[in-house]
Structure 1
Amino acid sequence: MTSVETAQATIAPSATARMSGRQTAALVVLLASQFMMAADFSVLNVALPEVGVALGFETGSLQWITTMFALCAAGCTLVFGRVGDFVGRRRIFTAGMVVLAVSSLLGGVASTPEMLLVARTLQGLATAAVTPAALALLTTAFTEPTLRARALGLNGIMMSAGFSVGAVLGGVLTDALSWRWAFFINIPVAIAAILVVPLVVPESRAERRGRIDVPGAVLITLGMFAGIYGVTRVGEEGLDALAGASLALGAVLLVAFWAVESRTADALVPVKILKKPDIALGNLAALFIFGGETALIFFTGLYVQNVLGLSSMTAGLVLLGIGVGQIIAGVVGPRILQKVSPRSLLGISLFLQGAFMLFGVWASADSFWLLPLIVTQFVNAFFSMLAALCFMVIATSSADADSQGMATGMATQSQQVGIAIGIPLVSAVFASVIGHGSVTAAEELTGIHTAIGVTGSAQVVVGLVLWLVLRARSPRTTTTD
């Protein structure tokens, strides 16, 4: 059996094994936490216009509410995963939930932009702690291969669903109560997890702990912050001295990070594994898959509310099509991958994800566009999830048994980085078009058209390139490892 076939079998397990009552309880609480963490990323997206008015954010600066969260989640995920190896994954999970509860309270009572950004930063750190810990606890709680595959498959669906449902939930809460409840709703869920997890989830630590790659964690986090701040500054103010210095600093830090990781035994990001073409290309695709989808959700919220003048709840309901598309693809995707090589399918899926995003370029200020928008976003989300499944198979199946942990960690990091950089990069394009200060709905629509056009075109081009390259690498006959 090839390694690709092995990965395909993993995501489409049989249903012969049964879970114990304790395993079922552990699965429920861990999946609920992953769902909530994914929802936290997007729950404020549709409420951003109201948050901006309430706290005094400029339109071009709203993306920092999402970016601060995503940057911390992306930059610290692997390092918190390594800390969990030392002190215990359940302990890190619980600590992350405590931080989530505190930060959610802080965000709910925020009265200034600075206070809200601090809360979102802490929420990002909580996500960086809880997400890898919950994933590791799932794999150690389910040692039987079929049950583990089932649990991990459900985990992927719940995280994708949470990301989209979070946008809907944010709209409902904002309309019915206040945007502040997008924060407050986390508190009882976090408290419940803190109380229940120690009762049903056993503690676990890595057999081989190694050491924490502190230099790598510092360099990648600071490099991402500097680079993304530079890109955002270019969009807001043009290429001034501060923007140029930030971009240069980001580049230097990322080059230093690569050099350090190449010489570190317990590297945070294993550079050696990226020398395998399939793994490198799969992780490259993740940046466009997840970066594009987060940007689409962000700009849909702005379009529905600021251009069409509709409510937060309506924006959330429009985004529900994305959640439904992702869930359906998550269910049928493994069956498709049993019949079609993921190497052939990845590029096609990314191409179609971008193509259906480009339909938004023709959206006007007429509410007639709501129905076509829902339909095209549903199809876009279907192919986005299908591409994500292909990416995970490709990015992990080429690694040998000793490198599986590294490959999985790298794939998770690429997903988080894609989410972190998608909105700020595309927002820089948006801000460069709309300029500074107050803008009209027509001017904002022009900025949205440009941002969506650039994003969709990039996905189309990269999808075509990946299809040509990976199709040539796809084996024509089944071989054994």
Structure 2
Amino acid sequence: MGGPEAAGAAPERLTGRLRLVLAVLLAAQFMLAVDFSILNVALPVIGRGLGFSLANLQWIGTAFALAAAGFTLLFGRIADLVGRRRLFLTGLAVLGASSLVGGLAVNPEMLLTARVAQGLATAAVTPAGLSLLTSSFPEGPLRDKALGLNGALMSAGFTTGAVLGGVLTDLLSWRWSFFINVPVALAVLVVAPAVIKESRADERSRLDVPGAASVTLGLLALVFGLTRAGEKGWGDPAALVGLAVGAALLAVFYFVESGAAQPLVPVRILKRRTVIVGNLAGLIAFVTETSLVFLMTLYLQKVLGFSPLAAGLSFAVLGLGTVVGGVTAARVIGRVGTRTTLVAGGIVQALATIALVALGDDRSWLGLLLSATFVGGVGNMLVIVGFMVTATSGLRDCEQGMATGLATMTQQIGLTMGTPIMSAIVTARTAGAAGADAVLDGVSLAVLVNAAIVLSGTLIAGLFLRGKQQV
């Protein structure tokens, strides 16, 4: 069965029912985005409170990232088979319960178990929620608008998480960074069954176990290698082994899918120009903007001397830019098409990023940082919405869980890759040097590389997507 409007003609405007569906799904996606970044500021306080060693503190983030990225494609396909609403609601229930456990944690083991469960819940809820969104709204202006709002709230959620984590930790306790999920999850669980209809593939098929195993293990190895490289450097043997094993298993996945009778992801989908280029553009968008936040955090704290909370509040302007970009993206796509939107958004983001190379070592440069991150946020969100529209267009309703699973996988890997890459550039540039000037020099080089990566994605979208059409 399809989305809630599948039985009749596709609506041309948002009905009251579709507004409720959109509100419920966006609330869940916003909560997931907040959850991704809300603990960043609180990590040192959590470490002291529960007895984490400094070396093991990074596992609070890594445990979540491994589960969230490693299982997202698998859960995207499971959503198609068992029902998207069912998996969406199950994942939300797990997220609420694991957040409660995390907030009540009394030792590192209990907290890490909760973080793994949160990651698994995110891997289930994100693609299921996105596929409910794409199957509920017909391809065209309505879907573009829904995906634009989703992208805007998702990016705003990352920024809100950083700010909210600092506020909750300072005023209450780090435990409220977990507890805050519980009432939101409960509210969505109460409302969602009444407004969202079940949606699943018309044809029931068996799960491709070899494909699921190879891609899940490959992604786990890849994310482990990336996070290890961010901590220990790109020459670390464990990082290199993780990356090599991940690449090998993903190659195995491709060959398994080529010969599978009922593949997890049909090779014809993996070969689609829109899927390839759309996901590559999305990967670059997430790699560059999230890692730019890391670079600007270094600049604000290590060069300008801002406190963690003040640095987090500075990114509210970036969050505003992403909201503006997300809200306007549907109109831009409707007027000029996804290809032009991807290219224009990439150029805007790249120019705004290049401007940050001019940052100096005193607070008079804060105006440039705020204005450039605002403009860059607008451009980045145009790319992200263009990526989501491109990567999910031209596919049957029964393939939406798989398509959104791929898109979510792209998002999670991009979020994981960016910071280790930029951190390695800064570290290499500042080797043997110390002080604010050395950090500024390293940040400036990394910003330049960041802009070059954005331009490469823009060039790929311009060359390999055809015409003005949506698909």
Q: Give the counterpart of 1:175 among 170, 176, 179.
A: 170
Distance change >3 Å, CA 355–CA 152, structure 1 → 2: closer
Determine if contact 1:67/1:423 at 8 Å carries over to the other structure.
Answer: no
Distance change >3 Å, CA 214–CA 14, structure 1 → 2: same
- The structural deviation recorded for 1:185 is 0.9
Instruction: Tell me the distance in 1 between the aligned counterparts of 2:106 and 2:425.
Output: 29
The aligned counterpart of 1:356 is: 352
The aligned counterpart of 1:133 is: 128
Instruction: Tell me the distance in 2 between the aligned counterparts of 1:216 and 1:144.
Output: 29
Distance change >3 Å, CA 271–CA 71, structure 1 → 2: farther
The aligned counterpart of 2:5 is: none
Instruction: Tell me the distance in 2 between the aligned counterparts of 1:392 and 1:408.
Output: 8
The aligned counterpart of 1:253 is: 249
- Give the partner amino acid of 1:460: L
Instruction: Tell me the distance in 2 between the aligned counterparts of 1:447 and 1:56.
Output: 30
- The structural deviation recorded for 1:163 is 2.7
Q: Give the counterpart of 1:92 among 87, 90, 103.
A: 87
Instruction: Tell me the distance in 2 between the aligned counterparts of 1:440 and 1:177.
Output: 34
The aligned counterpart of 1:474 is: 467
- The structural deviation recorded for 1:33 is 1.2
Task: Confirm whether residue 388 of structure 1 aligns to residue 384 of structure 2.
Answer: yes
What's the CA shift string for 1:50-73, capped at 9, x where partnerless?
5567665659x8765445433422
Distance change >3 Å, CA 318–CA 250, structure 1 → 2: same
Instruction: Tell me the distance in 2 between the aligned counterparts of 1:289 and 1:91.
Output: 31
Instruction: Tell me the distance in 2 between the aligned counterparts of 1:176 and 1:121.
Output: 27
Instruction: Tell me the distance in 1 between the aligned counterparts of 2:427 and 2:117.
Output: 26
The aligned counterpart of 1:193 is: 188
Q: Give the counterpart of 1:464 among 459, 463, 470.
A: 459
Specify the SS of the correspondent of 1:339: helix
- Worse overlay, 386-395 or 148-157: 148-157
Specify the SS of the correspondent of 1:229: helix
- Give the partner amino acid of 1:289: A
- The structural deviation recorded for 1:183 is 1.6
The aligned counterpart of 2:16 is: 19
What's the CA shift string for 1:184-231, capped at 9, x where partnerless?
211222233333333443444432232223322332232233234334
- Worse overlay, 106-115 or 157-166: 106-115
The aligned counterpart of 1:8 is: none
Q: Which runs of 5+ in 2 are unaligned?
A: 1-10
- The structural deviation recorded for 1:425 is 3.4
Task: Confirm whether residue 271 of structure 1 aligns to residue 267 of structure 2.
Answer: yes
Q: Percent identity?
A: 48
- Give the partner amino acid of 2:318: I
Instruction: Tell me the distance in 2 between the aligned counterparts of 1:202 and 1:465.
Output: 38
Q: Give the counterpart of 2:23 among 28, 31, 36.
A: 28
- Give the partner amino acid of 1:180: R
Instruction: Tell me the distance in 2 between the aligned counterparts of 1:103 and 1:430.
Output: 35
Determine if contact 2:201/2:397 at 8 Å carries over to the other structure.
Answer: no
- Give the partner amino acid of 1:82: R
Q: What number of residue pairs does the alignment pair up?
A: 459
Specify the SS of the correspondent of 2:315: helix
Determine if contact 2:201/2:399 at 8 Å carries over to the other structure.
Answer: no
The aligned counterpart of 1:411 is: 407
Distance change >3 Å, CA 441–CA 385, structure 1 → 2: same
Task: Confirm whether residue 319 of structure 1 aligns to residue 312 of structure 2.
Answer: no
Determine if contact 1:354/1:460 at 8 Å carries over to the other structure.
Answer: yes
Specify the SS of the correspondent of 1:338: helix
Instruction: Tell me the distance in 2 between the aligned counterparts of 1:116 and 1:429.
Output: 32
Task: Confirm whether residue 332 of structure 1 aligns to residue 346 of structure 2.
Answer: no
Distance change >3 Å, CA 230–CA 406, structure 1 → 2: closer
- Give the partner amino acid of 1:126: A
Determine if contact 2:77/2:402 at 8 Å carries over to the other structure.
Answer: no
What's the CA shift string for 1:345-373, capped at 9, x where partnerless?
42342243233224444434423333221
What's the CA shift string for 1:229-278, capped at 9, x where partnerless?
33444451552543433332222212111211222244333332232334
- Worse overlay, 285-294 or 416-425: 416-425
Instruction: Tell me the distance in 2 between the aligned counterparts of 1:380 and 1:289.
Output: 11
User: TM-score normalised to the size of structure 1?
Assistant: 0.81
User: TM-score normalised to the size of structure 2?
Assistant: 0.82
Distance change >3 Å, CA 141–CA 223, structure 1 → 2: closer
- The structural deviation recorded for 1:287 is 0.9
Determine if contact 1:45/1:301 at 8 Å carries over to the other structure.
Answer: no
- Give the partner amino acid of 2:225: G
Distance change >3 Å, CA 133–CA 394, structure 1 → 2: closer
Instruction: Tell me the distance in 1 between the aligned counterparts of 2:62 and 2:353.
Output: 21
Distance change >3 Å, CA 441–CA 401, structure 1 → 2: same
- Worse overlay, 268-277 or 439-448: 439-448
Instruction: Tell me the distance in 1 between the aligned counterparts of 2:108 and 2:354.
Output: 33
Instruction: Tell me the distance in 2 between the aligned counterparts of 1:233 and 1:417.
Output: 14
- The structural deviation recorded for 1:129 is 1.3
Task: Confirm whether residue 157 of structure 1 aligns to residue 131 of structure 2.
Answer: no
Instruction: Tell me the distance in 2 between the aligned counterparts of 1:306 and 1:42.
Output: 20
What's the CA shift string for 1:277-303, capped at 9, x where partnerless?
343222211110111122122333344
Task: Confirm whether residue 79 of structure 1 aligns to residue 80 of structure 2.
Answer: no
Determine if contact 2:76/2:401 at 8 Å carries over to the other structure.
Answer: no
Distance change >3 Å, CA 379–CA 148, structure 1 → 2: closer
Determine if contact 1:355/1:460 at 8 Å carries over to the other structure.
Answer: no
Specify the SS of the correspondent of 2:178: helix
Distance change >3 Å, CA 440–CA 344, structure 1 → 2: same
